[in-house]
Amino acid sequence: MTDFNKAHESDIEKLGQLRDYFASYRALPSYSYMQTLLNVGSKNTIAKLVARLKLMGFLEIAPDKKLSPGKRFFERPLSSNTVQAGAFTATYNDGGDYITIDEYLVKKPSVTELIPVKGDSMKDLGILDGDTVIVEKRPFANIGDIVVAIIDDKFTIKTLGKEKDMFVLIPANKDFDVIRPKEQFAIYGVVAGQFRSY
């Protein structure tokens, strides 16, 4: 059995419990504590579960012989359905692929930084106060890119525009003015995505 979609429902449930434990403690439980956590009486049963999850790529053994998350541990279900923000759509059914959030949002980990957003100058593009933007750090951008720019040693997030031969920074909120830098300014990076929690 190498495909998570074909994994036994009990294994999927136990993997979920291990993921929840990891989210709380940033570590995986010992084999003996796993017996309590997963309500399993036998160490042999735990060993077989771990072997199956290792085979599927969800767990690995670290050099110190402790369990660690495998490559697929952080995968989340990506539904084959969509949800309509307007009219109703058909109800949810199982199926689809699995992805990691990192895989979906972070294309270049070595140059990616997460930056919290403060203020509402970009609200009309759906970038709200309290959101976190995923920024690929680089000193250049295309017109129309949403960028994090540095002006007078301060960060701002705006859409990069151009008027005649000058770059401008355009807000997405009518209550804010277009920024026309009088001095040189720098592009810190380009926004590649965003997220928020509720």
Cα separation, 101 vs 74, in Å, equals: 8
Domain 4-73, CATH class in plain words: mainly alpha
- Pairing mode, if any, of strands 154-163 and 166-170? antiparallel
Cα separation, 44 vs 48, in Å, equals: 6
CATH architecture of 109-195: Ribbon (2.10)
Cα separation, 164 vs 28, in Å, equals: 57
pLDDT of residue 92: 53
Catalytic residue, candidates 10, 121, 154, 197: 121
Cα separation, 181 vs 188, in Å, equals: 15
Cross-strand partners of 60: 68
Domain with CATH 2.10.109.10 in the chain: 109-195
Asked if 43 is an active-site residue, the reply is: no
Domain with CATH 1.10.10.10 in the chain: 4-73
- Copy the structure tokens of residue 15: 């993997």
Catalytic residue, candidates 24, 48, 158, 182: 158
pLDDT of residue 88: 60
Asked if 158 is an active-site residue, the reply is: yes
Model-level pTM greater than 0.85?
no
pLDDT of residue 116: 93
**Mind listing the pLDDT tens digit of every residue in the chain (198 residues)?**
344 445 578 898 999 999 999 989 999 999 999 999 999 989 999 999 999 999 999 999 988 888 999 989 988 877 666 666 765 655 555 556 777 888 788 888 889 999 999 999 999 999 999 999 999 999 999 999 999 999 888 899 999 999 988 899 999 999 999 999 887 789 999 999 999 988
SS (H, E, C) the chain: CCCHHHCCHHHHHHHHHHHHHHHHHCCCCCHHHHHHHCCCCCHHHHHHHHHHHHHCCCEEECCCCCEEECCCCCEEEEECCCCCCCCCCCCCCCCEEEEEHHHHHCCCHHHEEEEECCCCCCHHHCCCCCCEEEEEECCCCCCCCEEEEEECCEEEEEEEEEECCEEEEECCCCCCCCECCCCCCEEEEEEEEEECCC
pLDDT of residue 102: 82
pLDDT of residue 96: 64
pLDDT of residue 81: 67
Cα separation, 176 vs 144, in Å, equals: 18
